[in-house]
Structure 1
């Protein structure tokens, strides 16, 4: 499937080394202020070549809105957009046409379709996430009407972990450094680790943390479209993601129920909880507290180091990859996590409007 969403539906298209990537966002209500500058700002946070710790592929990632927006306002019709590819070096992949790269989708695409676009991974490339970020920026514009804010940041690179909750951080500092960690000292350590991995022709994984503030109670669809399940599916659909947890996550399994439960209180007429181990979601439905979650990314599989693999003839071969690749995907993945979260929350806001007269 190339589409996500129930009412607000994003369909993406394009390949890494094709003419363009883009998307169609259907279901956006009429009357939403759509700023092309705001969309471009998020695309600039995702684009390659933005610092020395990211891939040096040079793409402006300039978005063109083709339909659904008139005089800066959504018309209620499908919003289509395109980002044209400019700096693809397809010749870097000529030696990979018949070879399966370790931990890539080369073999699985052959197993599924019987053929594949070997240039930069084709449709399986993270280049496809350009369309998700553009669609997510429009979803953020919808959320602004409800005073809902989505923010993500890098909380771990390799073994370097930011051992602070979002309550203890000034998340507005996230964009102050190239690794997008709101703690300046930890950011320096993370940057050094990425630089060393790059020097060693290796890669590093890590974790992105996110928080969504202002979500009203009542979002989420029991039983099979629970809010945390839809958020998890959206995050696990991002390239290189290996895990998702929300609230107390796996760490909460070590607590007794008496310590893990979130007691309700009446806070000046508002129902709140004194703790938030639930991560803002109970029974698959938002409870009005902050929704917070983490997304685990594996080390990028594309390495310049020589590796063992096999080719289409099932012969054992060695490969040494060329091309321009990220030593760590985390800094560029922050806006992707935000975009996917915004799409899910905006979709469930619109869905909730059908649940009560």
Structure 2
């Protein structure tokens, strides 16, 4: 299925943006793992919109209802199924869009693939709304990993031309928690203020901005992953590209490595307190698809929100002629800051799956 990922832990996302509900099925979670409902809700709340002019005015509670898989607050071995009911849809905002596909959206490709039968209200199954159930699965994975000393955190690295600081060589769980507690997820509040100003300026002009999320995982053992097509980068990138609006993923120095010399990009090895470490981390904690034991570092690029207020050129599919479209409704001027916990969630889910593989299905 195209909306499913994972090997030992299979995560399947279902629903449409304006349907009755959205949800997730997670099969393969270890039994007996406690799920802190308050912690999970706090994680989901980091993704929610409706609270500021920096995001959509659509207000959803995003409170998950667990239909199976939990008993007395612990995983019970059965597939976990959770749903979130949709409550604040304005479907009339999307009337007529079936004939005039929105530039930058999947309206056209969905119409071609499914002959006009797809529900594209609010983006349908392609919508960023589907990242809420992703955060249920990933939020649970984060709790399981944290009990094993593995912590995952992210921040908004850039919006448009505005840049945040980068993670230090050895980020900490306390640093991750401090970022998560902020209303705007950045390392430098000064940079965050500039980013917010840029987002509001784009919104005032009827436009939008893209951004980059930097994510790190600490506490991973060395030797996790495989070479070539099933390596750490391959598995993470495949899942991260499933997040709506993701257009690029890089690890460590990423594309900057292509502009450097080997003498600059190579991470020198050293022994520190009886362990092999590297003095820098241009590799992002991965060599040959296998973890080195250094922090795993990746960045994910999100395109500007395609639903903008400015008039845009499109076509009428019924008349097969050029026309103009002006989108109405409630849309994010930038989605990247809301995507920070989503990147954490997907990263956590993939890492938990790989850890279980490496430990033959158990911890």
Range of TM-score over shorter length: over 0.9
Counterpart pick for 2:244 among 233, 239, 242: 239
- What residue number does 2:86 align with? 85
Rounded to whole Å, the distance in 1 between the matches of 2:177 and 2:123 is: 34
The alpha-carbon deviation at position 224 of structure 1 amounts to 1.5
Q: Which residue in the other structure is 1:184 paired with?
A: 189
* Residues 1-357 of structure 1: pairs in structure 2 closer than 5 A: 1-115=2-116, 116-167=118-169, 170-175=175-180, 177-313=182-318, 314-354=320-360
| 8 Å Cα contact 1:218-1:352 kept in structure 2 | no
TM (norm. structure 2) is 0.94
- CA distance in 2: counterparts of 1:186 and 1:127, whole angstroms: 27
Deviations 1:46-89 (A, max 9, x none): 11212221100010111111111111111121111000000001
SS in 1 for 2:243: coil
Structure 1 segments, 4+ long, off by >6 Å, are none
TM-superposition CA deviations, 1:266-325 (whole Å, max 9, x none): 222212112211110111011111001111111110011111100212221111111100
Distance 1:263 1:158 in 2: 33
- Compared with structure 1, are the counterparts of its residues 171 and 150 closer, same or farther at alpha carbon in structure 2 (3 Å cutoff)? closer
Question: Cα offset for 1:172?
Answer: 4.1
Return the alpha-carbon distance in structure 1 between the equivalents of residues 28 and 97 of structure 2. Answer: 40
SS at match of 2:140: helix
Query: Residue 31 of structure 1: CA displacement?
Result: 1.4
CA distance in 2 between partners of 1:161 and 1:321 (Å): 30
Name the CA distance, whole Å, in 2 between partners of 1:261 and 1:304: 46
CA contact (8 A) 1:173 1:183 kept: no
**Matched residue of 1:232: which SS?**
helix
How many residue pairs end up in the alignment? Answer: 357
Whole-angstrom CA distance in 1 between matches of 2:165 and 2:26: 37
Alpha-carbon displacement from aligned partner over 1:327-347 (angstroms, at most 9, x marks no partner): 000111011000000011000
Q: 1:151 offset after TM fit, Å?
A: 0.3
Q: Deviations over 1:122-174 (max 9, x none)?
A: 11111111111111011112212321111010010111112434349855442
